[in-house]
């Protein structure tokens, strides 16, 4: 049995198929199938139900996943105590909410890879709730997302930026009263599946405003694009490292509006802790200088 086989097994469990797992571990779908057959042969048991077109983990295979994760995590941290640098090589899997993917994450990752050329970073986009679940079960090494509340002492969330809610509009919209604008223009809603969308909806309810929802978007980038094209207004976090589209919008502060916090979520037993700590430093440095020098 090898670590490679266990990594592929975990990838199959997390992605749901040999085909999807092949993209995760950078081998062909056929190679993943061959790896799983070798793993079954070495253990002397069947791990998959192959009665269907797409093989699925059977109960025995599912019960092996937590143990496989423990072995892989222990292997990844094996040299750390000896060299102090083991976690700054290899691969890190980072989750990120979509609003960070056009500015904050690329710049922070670029700085980290420049400092450690042997490092590979895979970025997984998603909403906060989905990403936090993946960090908890070990599918992600870390995730940049909104506040995370957990009773488990195995999780650690470290804040890096605060983004107050603002009213965004196209530059040619006239008026300085956010409430009047919200009640006289179409509203572009950010889905409540996202933490930022829930914050905006809750603020509107507390202000007892009636808005006319023109459309609902899944990401802040999509919201900003619709607003930039003059299709309506929206209430969103003032993105700490904005892309050009968001930067071009008109922004009005909102009285009594909450702030969305961004932070890095990791497991306290993450074997790549030194690496996630370095990533946190790079994220903080980008937040401190959100505008690139001209």
Mean pLDDT (the chain, rounded): 88
Buried b (16+ CB within 10 A) or exposed e, 197-228: bebbbebbeebeeebeeeeebebbbbbbebbb
Residues in a beta bridge with 231: none
- pLDDT tens per residue, range 125-175: 998 888 998 888 888 889 999 876 655 678 899 999 999 999 999 999 999
**Average pLDDT for 177-187:** 96
pLDDT at 86 (0 to 100): 46
Sign of CA dihedral 17, 18, 19, 21: positive
CATH 3.90.1720.10 is right for the domain spanning 162-259: no
Query: How do the domains of the chain map onto residue ranges?
Result: 1-76, 162-259
For 90, residues 6+ apart whose C-beta sits below 8 A from its C-beta are 76, 118, 119, 120, 272
- pLDDT tens per residue, range 92-122: 899 999 999 999 999 999 999 988 887 889 8
Class for the domain spanning 1-76: mainly alpha
């Amino acid at each position: 049995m090898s670590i490679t086989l266990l990594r592929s097994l975990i990838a199959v469990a997390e992605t749901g198929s040999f085909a999807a797992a092949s993209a995760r571990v950078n081998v062909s779908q056929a190679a993943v199938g061959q790896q799983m057959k070798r793993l079954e042969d070495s253990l002397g048991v069947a791990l998959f139900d192959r009665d269907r077109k797409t093989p699925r983990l059977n109960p025995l295979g599912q019960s092996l996943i937590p143990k496989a994760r423990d072995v892989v995590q222990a292997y990844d941290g094996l040299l750390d105590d000896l060299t102090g640098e083991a976690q700054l090589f290899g691969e890190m899997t980072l989750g990120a909410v979509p609003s960070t993917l056009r500015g904050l994450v690329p710049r922070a990752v670029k700085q980290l890879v420049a400092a450690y050329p042997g490092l590979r970073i895979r970025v997984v986009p998603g909403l906060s709730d989905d990403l936090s679940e993946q960090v908890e079960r070990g599918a992600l090494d870390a995730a940049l997302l909104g506040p995370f509340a957990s009773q488990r002492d195995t999780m650690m969330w470290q804040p890096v930026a605060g983004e107050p809610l603002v009213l965004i509009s196209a530059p040619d919209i006239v008026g300085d009263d956010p409430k009047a604008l919200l009640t006289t223009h179409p509203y572009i809603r950010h889905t409540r599946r996202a933490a930022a969308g829930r914050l905006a909806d809750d603020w509107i309810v507390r202000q007892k405003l009636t808005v006319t929802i023109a459309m609902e978007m899944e990401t802040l980038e999509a919201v900003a694009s619709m607003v930039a094209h003059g299709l309506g207004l929206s209430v969103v976090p003032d993105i700490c490292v904005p892309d050009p589209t968001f930067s071009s919008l008109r922004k009005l502060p909102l009285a009594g509006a909450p702030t969305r916090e961004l932070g890095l979520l990791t497991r306290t037993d993450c074997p790549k802790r030194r690496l996630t700590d370095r990533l946190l430093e790079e994220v903080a440095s980008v937040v401190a200088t959100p505008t690139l020098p001209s």
